[in-house]
Amino acid sequence: MAQVYYYMGVDALQESLMVDESSINHALVSLSNALKFEPGDSLPDLHVLRGRCLLIKGEEQNAAECFKQAMELERPGSTDTTTLRCLLLTLLNLFMQGGSDPSSVITQLEMWVNKAEERYPQDTVKSELRALYRTHTEEATELSKTHQDRALGPGKKGAGNSGA
């Protein structure tokens, strides 16, 4: 039922656009009920759908937590990378929003990429990272620069960042 409400609440061509907030809210209620009981709480797809609903409502941090839970539940060797894709994109969005501490988001990204390499074939993870970079080049470049500056320490700039 949650999936029906989800698709009633989003644009058919572009799922990131909400067209009916009430339907999204109904989907969230249905998902909350399903996640209270076995086997719902152990199904990664339910956590992913809940995360997508929260993402559409602009609740990126809560969505990220749902995607993390879904990743924890993914079976090792899985080739469906929907969960990984959603988590990477959400963490990248959280980084771009600025928030309180960008290094926290960078640390989370590193940790979850490492976890992804334990759950998915390595080529699959690399493919997802390349796709993320291709579709969000500017954001990924900014993340990379911040990561490099953080690794070098305060007051030091990486090659190409010298400003000269």
Q: What is the pLDDT of residues 108-150, one digit of tens each?
A: 999 999 999 999 998 999 999 999 999 999 998 988 888 777 6
Q: What is the pLDDT of residues 14-61, one digit of tens each?
A: 666 667 788 888 889 999 988 888 887 889 999 999 999 999 899 999
Q: Report the C-alpha gap between 90 and 109 in whole angstroms.
A: 10
Strand partners, 18: 10
Give the global pTM. Answer: 0.81
Kindly tell me the burial class for residue 113, based on how many C-beta atoms sit within 10 Å of its own C-beta (0-12, 13-18, 19 or more): middle
